[in-house]
Structure 1
Amino acid sequence: MDVEKALLEIAEIRGHVARSVEFHGYGPQALVLTGLLAAAGGGAQALFLPAPGEAPLDYILFWASVACLALAVIGAEAFRRARRNHGGMANDMLRAAARAFAPAGLAGLFTSLTILRHAPEAAWMLPGLWQIMLSLGVFAASAALPGMMTAVAAWYLATGLACLTYASGPDAFSPLAMALPFLGGQCFAAAILHFAYRAENAKERDR
């Protein structure tokens, strides 16, 4: 029992440390790549889903596939960088990062399914809602990221609200409603991380 209690205490300490230490797992290059994926997705939507309002399920599945590919890119890079930058704390840091984004991701998933099942006529709102959900996820994760990342959360909140305001009627399901916000937001986040990591490396060299 004493050993089990000690192990639990160690796990709690490691979890607390993982939540309080800045996470260096997100790679700027991977974020730029996911922004380019969103832009490519917008182009593909224009070519292969010319009338998404008539097939909201196809629209959701298409962008869900793009999102899963983006998550795979970010996740693979985060795993590699966490191993390099956090050593023995890598798994704890990765779990803490996943927990920060999980509520927003699940909320986006269940909101999409609910709209598709019970209010398909409101599916045009999904691009804006997805961006707002991502904004909440970035806000939740920002405690373990450079301070300027809250500006990225604000970006996605603003673009999500703009989509709900303007991307309706004839502009509903516009490819630009997904491509432009995510291209801009991911590149913005990549720039913040790039300069934050460079500044931190410069400080370490000066020590």
Structure 2
Amino acid sequence: MNDLNRALVDIANIRSQMAAGTVFQGFGPAVIGVSGVLAFLTMAGQLLWPELLVRSEATMLWLWIGVAVFSFLLIAIETRARARRFHGGLADEMVQNMVLQFMPIGFAGAAVGAVILFYSPGDFWLLPGLWQMLVALGLFASQRSLPQQIMLAAAWYFLSGVVVMILGAEAGAASVLMMGVPFTIGQFMLAGLLHVAERRESDV
């Protein structure tokens, strides 16, 4: 029985190593593009109806949190389906690897957001830039599992995060554009880079 358990563990380890060495194709350009559209529509709505959607910085940021959660759910649903289609029997291991790579970044973003929202509302201006930098770190941390072109989007998010934090520090407040412009451009850039990578993979 010990030999059987050891063999099962060895097989699981081999599958994990195979998954770790395979480029993940679960992220679809279309749904990433949809998240960019949602970011643009949110920004446009907040600019057009500030009295309703930007009554305070907290209102503005809660709306963005809702958009982020909805986008995450859409991406997660499609990612699961695409992983099964592209990676077959390795789908579970591939998805698990991506979750483990992005989960710490997601928890960090949620924790920082909660602390600022509930305990230090005067520091709201920090959040847009911090969230963008965390997205960048998540992409950089996953570079072995994603197409190399994606690092261009990671660089965009990192640089935009730095610029947004500088602007926020100078203004002492967050703005709609600090959230909307970087995430709209970043998500469309991600979608475009994924599309290019997918086309190259299909041509091989």
- Ranges of 4+ aligned residues in structure 1 off by more than 6 Å: none
Unpaired runs of 5+ residues, structure 2, are none
Report the equivalent of 1:52. 56
User: What is the percentage of aligned positions where both structures have the same residue?
Assistant: 35
Question: Mean Cα displacement is larger for which, 38-47 or 177-186?
Answer: 38-47
- Determine whether 1:150 maps to 2:151: yes
Q: Using the alignment, how far apart are the partners of 1:95 and 1:44 within structure 2?
A: 36
Deviations 1:101-130 (A, max 9, x none): 111111101111122233221111100000
Q: Using the alignment, how far apart are the partners of 2:119 and 2:70 within structure 1?
A: 27
Report the equivalent of 2:106. 105
CA contact (8 A) 1:52 1:173 kept: no
Report the equivalent of 2:65. 64
Report the equivalent of 2:27. 26
Q: Using the alignment, how far apart are the partners of 1:146 and 1:95 within structure 2?
A: 18
Deviations 1:60-84 (A, max 9, x none): 4322211111111111111111111
Deviations 1:41-73 (A, max 9, x none): 2223342233323xx2x3443222111111111
For residues 91-102 of structure 1, the aligned pairs below 5 Å read 91-102=92-103
Report the equivalent of 1:202. 203
Question: Mean Cα displacement is larger for which, 22-31 or 108-117?
Answer: 108-117
RMSD of equivalent CA atoms: 1.6
Q: TM-score, normalised by structure 2?
A: 0.92
Q: Using the alignment, how far apart are the partners of 1:82 and 1:29 within structure 2?
A: 15
Report the count of equivalent residues. Answer: 200
- Which residue type is aligned with residue 103 of structure 2? A
Give the secondary-structure state (helix, strand or coil) at the position aligned to 2:144. Answer: helix
- Which residue type is aligned with residue 166 of structure 2? T
- Which residue type is aligned with residue 152 of structure 1? A
Q: Using the alignment, how far apart are the partners of 1:91 and 1:162 within structure 2?
A: 38
- Which residue type is aligned with residue 134 of structure 2? M
Unpaired runs of 5+ residues, structure 1, are none
CA contact (8 A) 1:35 1:184 kept: yes
Q: Using the alignment, how far apart are the partners of 2:20 and 2:119 within structure 1?
A: 38
CA contact (8 A) 1:27 1:81 kept: yes
